[in-house]
Structure formats: C-alpha cells, structure tokens
C-alpha cells in the first residue's frame, strides 16, 4: 500500500474519504446540476408583458455573476402592473425560467401574466377567485405565471419540472404555467 509520508494517509484511505464525500454530497449536487441544466455560461430572460406592452430580452447572469443593473430592470418589468409597485424578484425563479426556456428550445419569449403581486392586489384577486393562495409566492417576488403560444401548458410545465428546483403549477383551462422557487412540488392539470 502506498503512503503519503507528509500526511500519513494511504492513497486508498484518501480515495475512500473522497468516495464517501461524493456519495454524501450526491443528492445536493444532483439537484444543483439539474437546476442549472440548460443555463450555460450565460442566463437570458426573454419575456413579453401583454399587460404593459413591454418586451424584455436580457442576459442577466454571466460567468457566475448576476448583473445588478439588469436584475433591477427585471424587478421593474415584473412589477405589480395594477399599482406599479416594484419588488425584488428572487433570482432562483429567474434561473428556473431561463433553464426551462432553453429546454423548450423556443425562439418565442414567455408571456408574463403575473410576476410580483402586492398584498393588496393578491387580496383583491383572492376575493374574486378561489384559486389564489393567501400566502402566494407572488407576494414575495418568488413566482411567475407564464404562457407561450408555441408550447402547451403541459410542455412548459414539463420543462420547468425537469429543473427540479421549485413549484410548477399547470393551469390548462386558463392557459398558463406557474413557476416558483419554493419547495419542489407540482399541481394542476
């Protein structure tokens, strides 16, 4: 058996330690890799808002760094369009959207139906519909409701679910997919 004289640890023991560490860390790394699948060295967001008529096509992450000025523009774009309140959008939600878009291999931007919702807007929507959660992730900048003309709700939901990084809701009757950076879960038909 070979020994490393300076450390007093055999090569075999060192390899065993490495293997144990890799096995212990495997679930974490597996989720991280699946989350970033399709993201590449840049992360891009292409979104259209039918509510405001605005269009965004922006690279917001390059070589491991978020671009603060672009994130500020995204926060404004995802604002509550009913009262113009702006809130910080969780970059994990943006990353899920970006990775899912790349998996869809679509040229078309997402159509953003709802990004940030102020508590007042959420309460108003909740009074009108039983499908609005009182503790919606929209109210803390962690969710987006999206649609694409060229892809079905099921296709968009499958792409988002493949990221294994948050919640994915299918709202086929209303023709949109919900994506958030909360616990991994799915619902809807």
| The token pair that represents 153 in the structure block | 């709700």
Name the pLDDT band for 10 (thresholds 50, 70, 90).
low
**Which residues on adjacent β-strands are paired with residue 85?**
80
Average pLDDT over residues 16-28: 40
| The token pair that represents 8 in the structure block | 């007093």
Is the pLDDT at 65 greater than 60? The verdict is yes
Is the pLDDT at 40 greater than 50? The verdict is yes
Name the pLDDT band for 36 (thresholds 50, 70, 90).
low
Q: Which of 71, 139, 141, 148 has the alpha carbon at shortest distance from 113?
A: 148
């Amino acid at each position: 058996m070979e020994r490393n004289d300076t450390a007093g640890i055999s090569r075999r023991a060192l390899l065993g330690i490495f293997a144990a560490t890799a096995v212990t860390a495997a679930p974490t790394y597996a989720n991280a890799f699946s989350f970033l699948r399709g993201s590449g060295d840049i992360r891009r967001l292409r979104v259209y808002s039918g509510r405001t008529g605005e269009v965004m096509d922006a690279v917001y992450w390059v070589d491991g760094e978020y671009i603060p000025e672009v994130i500020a523009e995204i926060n404004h774009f995802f604002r509550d369009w009913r009262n113009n309140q702006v809130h910080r959008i969780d970059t994990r939600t943006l990353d899920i959207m970006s990775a899912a878009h790349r998996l869809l291999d679509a040229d078309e931007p997402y159509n953003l139906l709802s990004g940030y919702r102020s508590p007042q807007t959420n309460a108003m929507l909740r009074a009108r519909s039983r499908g609005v959660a009182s503790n919606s992730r929209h109210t803390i900048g962690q969710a987006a409701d999206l649609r694409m003309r060229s892809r079905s709700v099921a296709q968009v939901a499958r792409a988002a679910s493949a990221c294994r990084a948050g919640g994915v809701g299918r709202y086929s009757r209303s023709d949109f997919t919900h994506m958030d950076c909360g616990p991994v879960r799915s619902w809807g038909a």
